Amino acid sequence: MEKELRLMKGNEAIAEAAIRSGADAYFGYPITPQSEVIEYLMAEKPHERTGMVVLQAESEVAAINMVYGAAGCGRMAMTSSSSPGVSLKQEGISYIAGAELPCLIVNVVRAGPGLGTIQPAQSDYFQSTKGGGHGDYRLIVLAPASVQEMYDFVELGFELAFKYRNPVMIQSDGIIGQMMEKVVIGPQKQRRTPEEIIKQCPWATVGKPTTRERNIITSLDLVAAKQEEFNLKLIKKYKEVKENEVRYELINTEDADYILVAYGSSARLSMKAMDLLRAKGIKVGILRLITLYPYPTKIIGELTKKVKGFLAVEMSAGQMVEDLQLAVQFKKPVAHFGRLGGVIPAPEEIVEALEQKIIGG
Amino acid sequence: MTEEIIIAGFGGQGVLSMGKILAYSGLMQGQEVSWMPSYGPEMRGGTSNVTTIISDERISSPILNKYDTAIILNQQSMDKFESMVKPGGNLLYDPNGIIRHPERKDINIYKVEATHIATEMGNVKVFNMVVLGAYLKIKPIVKMENVMKGLKKSIPVRNHKLLPLNEEAIKNGMKSLVKA
């Protein structure tokens, strides 16, 4: 195994992982704080390394529709952007989900609404997990908390996308995108051959042989009963996703009286807060969400029986906390703490929030 | 061992690259490292800072508001970060351009005339390496051989001819550290 250690930015790790995972295409449009993804790809010239296509589209809308086209041909295609750009992509994402195609979308979140600011935030949770576009669909949403996970989740994301024929989103943020950490780089995976693609994706529109009917990629069905049948099929798929793909990390929860529930950079801030709280003798653990959808409802149910309360730490006005409250079902106190607008909370503020809102509350 | 450092100064002083070289040096000796720059509007001119953490354990928050060491290279950064050094921690600064010197009594304060030394060496770009040398004199958390490996990884191959000059700058920094 040719394993290699590098110091990389989260955004660069996404880009290198795309090449190494054998992706066929990246379509994007630059926006802070994720422009290093396309910058790195352009500098690396992956068409020379693996034949992977990298193209700066004329807009975010164009980029997601290029992904739609490539995915329809069974290709491993991805795009990345930051919040305002991801809003632009929502129509395309809904169509891709409606056409049941695999692809990877990376959102390095910045504060909003609107153009907001370029500083980190986690205020796109609703958009990622509840369907930013129209119609009853879900994305599988992965939330990396380190540069290593930025790297690892590209391959995992593609794997899940093809397994379920569903778009997968990596929801990162400006902190994880911009920071540098140690990354273990995996070996180069070969891109699939056209024959392998046909075998893996019998639905792909790659030319019609005489042996089968036409493959059609569409999200349109004008017959209501048939559309409902399709909706029920999607629901069945999401149920399978919920049963099989929940991912999370428990840190110091064995003896914990209180749980900080967090993901991405907030989980990192919470780890520091946990150390500060434990130094004061307060037994605190962390539930770090790795999948935002599916949400780890079951483990929260189990923790609810053991602990005295939960604090959702997220850099938003309170989005993920709604799913936490649904999982806890008002059996134990639940509160939210977050800073907004690109302001990053200090670990000491998390300590204070837990003390005031849950322990003293 | 966990060392949490803020390096702050003007854009163009090599603040970010100093942090990167330090992080790479830690990586070279098998430690956990993180490097988190300020990437906000300030990077488009004006002040620049980077939080660099080197640790034997998994690093929690890459962003902090209390530091073991603050390396301060302009007045704005002095105003902002002097109060954020942990009691018993270290503050290293270049007095060049500093109007209000640090006043805290519960931390160790060090000076290095890095601007002056770099100018004397005939290449102001090695300024940040002089400062790095002074820092490593205070806290030898990474070995010199690993610093050189980190430096080699951090700078483009076309500039590798400048490695000896950078090494000299680091050593000059080490020699010129003064406890205030």
A182: closest chain B residue by CA:
B33
CB contacts of A271 in chain B (<8 Å) are 60-61
Domain range spanning residue A276?
248-359
Residues of chain B below pLDDT 50:
none
Say if B36 falls within a structural domain: yes
B150: closest chain A residue by CA:
A7
User: Is the CB of residue A138 less than 8 Å from the CB of residue A161?
Assistant: no
Full 3-state SS string of chain A? CCCEEEEEEHHHHHHHHHHHCCCCEEEECCCCCCHHHHHHHHHHCHHHHCCCEEEECCCHHHHHHHHHHHHHCCCCEEEEECHHHHHHCHHHHHHHHHCCCCEEEEEEEECCCCCCCCCECCCCHHHHHCCCCCCCCCCEEECCCCHHHHHHHHHHHHHHHHHHCCEEEEEEEHHHHHCEEEEEECCCCCCCCHHHHHHHCCCCCCCCCCCCCCCCCCCCCCCHHHHHHHHHHHHHHHHHHHHHCCCEEEECCCCCCEEEEEEHHHHHHHHHHHHHHHHCCCCEEEEEECEEECCCHHHHHHHHHHCCEEEEECCCCCCHHHHHHHHHCCCCCEEEECCCCCCCCCHHHHHHHHHHHHHCC
User: Is the CB of residue B62 less than 8 Å from the CB of residue B51?
Assistant: yes
pLDDT of residue B180: 87
Say if B105 falls within a structural domain: yes
Q: Which of A159, A175, A194 is the last residue of a domain?
A: A194
Q: A179 and B20 in contact by Cβ < 8 A?
A: no
Give me the residues of A, 114-173, that contact B with CB < 8 A: 117-119
CB contacts of B33 in chain A (<8 Å) are 7, 180-182
Q: B27 and A175 in contact by Cβ < 8 A?
A: no
CATH of the domain at A42: 3.40.50.970
Residue among B23, B63, B64 whose CB faces A7 most closely: B23
For an interface test with B, the pick among A4, A8, A179 (most B C-beta atoms closer than 10 Å) comes out as A179
Say if A166 falls within a structural domain: yes
Contacting residues for A299 by C-beta, under 8 A, at least 6 apart = A246, A248, A250, A287
Per-residue pLDDT of chain A (361 residues; tens, 9 = 90+): 456 899 999 999 999 999 999 999 999 999 999 999 999 999 999 999 999 999 999 999 999 999 999 999 999 999 999 999 999 999 999 999 999 999 999 999 999 999 999 999 999 999 999 989 999 999 999 999 999 999 999 999 999 999 999 999 999 999 999 999 999 999 999 999 999 999 999 999 999 999 999 999 999 999 999 999 999 999 999 999 999 999 999 999 999 999 999 999 999 999 999 999 999 999 999 999 999 999 999 999 999 999 999 999 999 999 999 999 999 999 999 999 999 999 999 999 999 999 999 998 7
Q: And the tokens for A141?
A: 């949403």
CB contacts of B34 in chain A (<8 Å) are 179-181
CB contacts of B27 in chain A (<8 Å) are 5, 7, 182
Q: And the tokens for A95?
A: 């169509």
User: Which residue in A278, A66, B115, B27 sits closest to A270, CA to CA?
Assistant: A278
Rounded Cα gap, residues B132 and A81, in angstroms: 36
User: Which residue in B85, B81, B54 sits closest to B68, CA to CA?
Assistant: B85
Say if A140 falls within a structural domain: yes
Residues A178, A37 share a domain: yes
Predicted TM-score of the model (pTM): 0.96
CB contacts of B38 in chain A (<8 Å) are none
Domain range spanning residue B48?
2-113+140-163
When divided into structural domains, chain A yields a total of: 2
Say if B150 falls within a structural domain: yes
CB contacts of A32 in chain B (<8 Å) are 39
Peptide bond before residue A294 is cis, with ω within 30 degrees of 0 = yes
Q: Which of A194, A216, A238 is the last residue of a domain?
A: A194
CATH of the domain at B84: 3.40.920.10
Say if A73 falls within a structural domain: yes
Phi, psi values for residue A177, rounded to 5°: -70, -40
Measured from the Cβ of residue B118, the count of other Cβ atoms closer than 10 Å reads 24
CATH of the domain at A259: 3.40.50.920
With an 8 Å Cβ cutoff, is A272 touching chain B?
yes
3-state secondary structure of B77: helix
- Position A307: which residue type? V
With an 8 Å Cβ cutoff, is A17 touching chain B?
no
Q: B60 and A271 in contact by Cβ < 8 A?
A: yes
Residues A51, A177 share a domain: yes
pLDDT of residue A290: 98
The string of pLDDT tens digits covering residues B68-114 is 999 999 999 999 999 999 999 999 999 999 999 999 999 999 999 99
Q: A118 and B59 in contact by Cβ < 8 A?
A: no
Rounded Cα gap, residues A275 and B135, in angstroms: 27
